[in-house]
Chain A
């Protein structure tokens, strides 16, 4: 059996994947929910039925050209650490990480496609892209789905569309989402009204790991909620419009902050650097929140010579499973805080204190 740790590329390599507007849009994804006509939904099906679905779906998915270099495994063959690692990479949901017998996963090495089998639905297939590429992600997953429907008999109703375990996903079964880094809107206290107006448009704003999670590191997930009564293209286009507006607001907020309250910005970034570069014990939550300001500092040219990918790598590497993965012994949370701080200090050794007067174009 393949080992997911060695199968996936390193955190450093994964941060080398770039896309349009990736200083604000960290990634885009489109997921489709599908079910097999003849079987009960995973939450209601008995174990033998779930196993049968897994045995039907897993080979069909693995055989697709997009999955020629893929990791395909039953969830009960993965350790808790494997699953947590997959969650931190956003390849599976936290709900799926809790699954065992009868559930499975297929993910390709490029991490552009991931299929959860027997999560809430028989299939949750998603296309992932770096940066702002929701349309590309939709086209990719659409093609993927069309190839799969030739092999699998999807539950579809002429009136209601694709049938899903939860009525909230029925119809297109689509969820279009983007992960946004919005420190400017948070610092300028504009985030709440923006979240509210986005909600009014029927879109959801969630935290880093989706449903029911907090916005660690000023990272927010924006996604559609309604799936019935509108076509996929209409849904994708609406999200694109809203995302473009949020990007604009974030850019404006950053610029305004630098003009009107430069001290607030320098203070946050300077303190974040100070703690990260000097701490000897730090939690993953604090690390993420401080790295967000370091990232903002890089975007604002306050750390000349430092790449954003270094921050993004640390963002991933300091999360519990990624950290534990590099160590031979199983550590407690307290011990991990020490190791985490050591690692961050080491990686920031060659990063100089933030400059106060920003150099280059970000100055105006």
Chain B
């Protein structure tokens, strides 16, 4: 895949953004990404990272002529740059890509550990459990251990998951 800016070097930096219900992709080579200020994720201070989010957005809008906006509340990345706060819960999905680096610098981890609303706790546990079972299942299939694979498949079915891997 070629860099969409210089159209010469191979693209190694990939950005995805969703505008409305359309997905747009940007593929850059190292140098163009650096020139646009979107590179070297290890070297970001927190303030830079804040700006980094803005920079990646600016980069997107420069390339597409459109600014990424939350489809639900209309909040844009420029707004985030101004206030450091988001518009609505949905914004976390809209700006997920830009935010993930930021969250990494701010927090201990990137995945929530701890309390969840009771109503979701069950399904949350199920999701975790399903992931583990799916992994075990592919391992069992790989090892041609069909007996345990069958029982794993049944267990996954019970939890409401799709055990598509074995026929």
Most buried by A among B79, B84, B113, B115: B115
With CB as the reference atom, state the residue of chain B lying closest to A39.
Answer: B88
Question: Given the complex, which residues of A lie within 8 Å of B89, measured CB to CB?
Answer: 35, 37, 41, 155, 157, 163
Q: Are A171 and B88 touching (Cβ within 8 A)? A: no
A120 to B102, CA, bound (A): 19
Task: Known contacts A167-B106, A228-B106, A229-B109; decide if A172 and B115 are in contact (CB<8 Å).
Answer: yes
With CB as the reference atom, state the residue of chain B lying closest to A32.
Answer: B115
Q: Are A158 and B92 touching (Cβ within 8 A)? A: no
Chain B nearest CB from A137 CB (Å) reads 15
User: What are 28 A-B interface contacts by the 8 Å CB criterion?
Assistant: A35-B89, A37-B89, A40-B87, A41-B85, A44-B75, A44-B85, A44-B86, A149-B117, A149-B118, A149-B119, A150-B118, A155-B89, A156-B116, A158-B124, A158-B127, A166-B85, A167-B106, A172-B112, A172-B114, A174-B114, A226-B106, A226-B108, A229-B108, A229-B109, A229-B112, A230-B114, A231-B113, A232-B114
Q: Are B127 and A228 touching (Cβ within 8 A)? A: no
User: Which residues B91-109 have CB closer than 8 A to chain A?
Assistant: 92, 99, 102-103, 106-109
Question: Given the complex, which residues of A lie within 8 Å of B103, measured CB to CB?
Answer: 160, 167, 170, 228
Q: Are A166 and B73 touching (Cβ within 8 A)? A: no
Task: Known contacts A41-B87, A44-B88; decide if A156 and B120 are in contact (CB<8 Å).
Answer: yes
Q: Are B85 and A43 touching (Cβ within 8 A)? A: yes
Interface presence of B111 (CB below 8 A): yes
Question: Given the complex, which residues of A lie within 8 Å of B116, measured CB to CB?
Answer: 156, 158, 161
Question: Given the complex, which residues of A lie within 8 Å of B109, measured CB to CB?
Answer: 228-230
Task: Known contacts A44-B73, A142-B115, A146-B118; decide if A227 and B107 are in contact (CB<8 Å).
Answer: yes
A233 to B120, CA, bound (A): 20
A226 to B110, CA, bound (A): 11
Using CB atoms and an 8 Å cutoff, list the residues of chain A in contact with chain B: 35, 37, 39-41, 43-44, 120, 142, 145-146, 149-150, 154-163, 165-168, 170-172, 174, 202, 226-234
Question: Given the complex, which residues of B lie within 8 Å of A39, measured CB to CB?
Answer: 88
Going nearest first, the 7 A-B pairs with the smallest beta carbon separation are A229-B109, A161-B112, A229-B108, A155-B89, A231-B114, A228-B107, A44-B87
A165 to B108, CA, bound (A): 19
Query: Chain B binding site: helix, strand, loop or mixed by DSSP?
Result: loop
Question: Given the complex, which residues of A lie within 8 Å of B108, measured CB to CB?
Answer: 202, 226, 228-230
Q: Are B115 and A229 touching (Cβ within 8 A)? A: no
Pick from A120, A226, A229: contact of B111, CB below 8 A: A229
A154 to B138, CA, bound (A): 36
Q: Are A167 and B88 touching (Cβ within 8 A)? A: no
Interface presence of B43 (CB below 8 A): no
Q: Are A167 and B99 touching (Cβ within 8 A)? A: yes
A sample of 17 more A-B contacts (CB under 8 A), given A167-B103, A229-B108, is A146-B118, A150-B118, A154-B117, A159-B112, A160-B112, A161-B112, A161-B116, A168-B106, A170-B107, A171-B113, A228-B106, A228-B110, A228-B112, A230-B114, A232-B114, A232-B115, A233-B114
Q: Are B107 and A171 touching (Cβ within 8 A)? A: yes
With CB as the reference atom, state the residue of chain A lying closest to B93.
Answer: A157
Q: Are A230 and B86 touching (Cβ within 8 A)? A: no
A40 to B111, CA, bound (A): 23
Chain A nearest CB from B86 CB (Å) reads 6
Q: Are B86 and A165 touching (Cβ within 8 A)? A: yes
Question: Given the complex, which residues of B lie within 8 Å of A149, measured CB to CB?
Answer: 117-119
A163 to B95, CA, bound (A): 13
Chain B nearest CB from A242 CB (Å) reads 15
Chain A nearest CB from B127 CB (Å) reads 6
Q: Are B113 and A230 touching (Cβ within 8 A)? A: yes
Q: Are A171 and B114 touching (Cβ within 8 A)? A: yes
